[in-house]
A and B are shown apart, each in its own frame.
Chain A
Amino acid sequence: MMRPRQKRMTRGDLLLAILLLLVALAGLVRMASAPAGARVVVSDGERVLYTAALDEVKDVDLEGPLGVTRLRIDAQGARILASPCPLKVCMGMGPARRDGELLACLPNRILVEVVGPQAEEDYDLLSR
């Protein structure tokens, strides 16, 4: 009745793990090699709530449906210091300073985006 002991990790498992790791790492490398951003744009997904230059050091309080999300802009970039959301994913995302990088607090509907110097026209698209 004893079945031969199966291998714990099949070849398919191993290949899949390697493939997924490569995809994830490729994505991270692509993001890390983006040029530095110039401005911070905060929106709720539809409307722009706030924008500032990335080289001004300051703390900003952003009002969302759950309460106040505190954003800090300093030499490291923009990061979320405090948030009323339950999971705090946004705080765990650390600082964003490269073009296209994003901090999102989904429950509180705060979307912090770092954009390059040439992205002025995009604001109109967002704030339409």
Chain B
Amino acid sequence: MTCSAADPQELARVRRKIFLALFAALAVAVHALEVLMPTPLPWFRLGLANVLTLVALFLYGGRAAWTVSLTRVGLGSLVMGRLFGPGFWLALAGAVCATGVMILAWRWWRRWFGPIGISLLGAVGHVCGQLLIAWLLLVRHAGIWQIFPLFLLMAVLTGLLTGWIAVVLLERLRQYAPFREDE
């Protein structure tokens, strides 16, 4: 341990692993809290767990974002007892689309969009993914896209909020040395 800690590259790798594990664990906890929290609309959730995916993306890149979001859906559903239930597939589709969109946007348009913009695109991706899988698997009816404007509005509002939280969190984290040298 002492000899590996002296090697700065090894140190960075270990740090990265530990922080990723922390982010994923936090995401699972936030996800569980959100599921349990009563909301005005029964299905409405803020998507706060996505903050951790965003932070992982901006600190460590695309693969890290996949790790956090897929761990969150898998473990989160397991903890809440919904693994492989009907809601699980919708959640998985939403998470996969959101993460995919965020990573691509981050790769291509990082110059124009900060975490808030990426979060917005992720939220829209989430809605599209959910509706798409619902349309494919559950209801083959074009009318299902009628819900889209309402969902989109919600996605924009929650996307702004989670993006904002991610920005503040990133600012705070970057004050600490372990997060400074990346990128």
Complex contacts, B85 vs chain A, CB 8 Å = 86
Residues facing B in A8-58 (CB within 8 A) are 8-13, 16-17, 20-21, 23-28, 30-31, 43, 45-46
Verify if B84 is at the interface (C-beta below 8 Å from A): no
Are A106's CB and B152's CB within 8 A? no
Contact A106 B150 (CB under 8 A): no
Kindly state whether residue B141 has any CB partner on chain A within 8 Å.
Answer: yes
- Of B13-21, B24-32, B37-45, B95-103, the one with at least 4 CB within 8 A of chain A: B37-45
Q: Is the CB of B143 within 8 A of A24?
A: no
How many B residues face the partner with a CB closer than 8 A? 42
Q: Which of B82, B114, B134, B147 contacts A9 (CB 8 A)?
A: B114
Secondary structure class of chain B's binding surface, majority of residues: helix
What residues of A have a CB within 8 angstroms of the CB of B121 in the complex? 16
- Interface residue? A78 (CB, 8 A): no
User: Is there an interface contact between A88 and B117, defined as CB atoms closer than 8 Å?
Assistant: no
A-B contact pairs, 28 of them (CB 8 A): A5-B171, A8-B164, A8-B171, A9-B114, A10-B113, A10-B114, A12-B109, A12-B112, A13-B116, A20-B120, A21-B156, A24-B149, A24-B153, A28-B150, A31-B149, A45-B138, A45-B141, A85-B86, A88-B42, A92-B44, A100-B143, A101-B146, A102-B146, A102-B147, A104-B141, A104-B144, A106-B86, A107-B138
On A, residues with C-beta under 8 Å from B are 1, 3, 5-13, 16-17, 20-21, 23-28, 30-31, 43, 45-46, 66, 85-89, 91-93, 100-102, 104, 106-107, 109, 111, 113
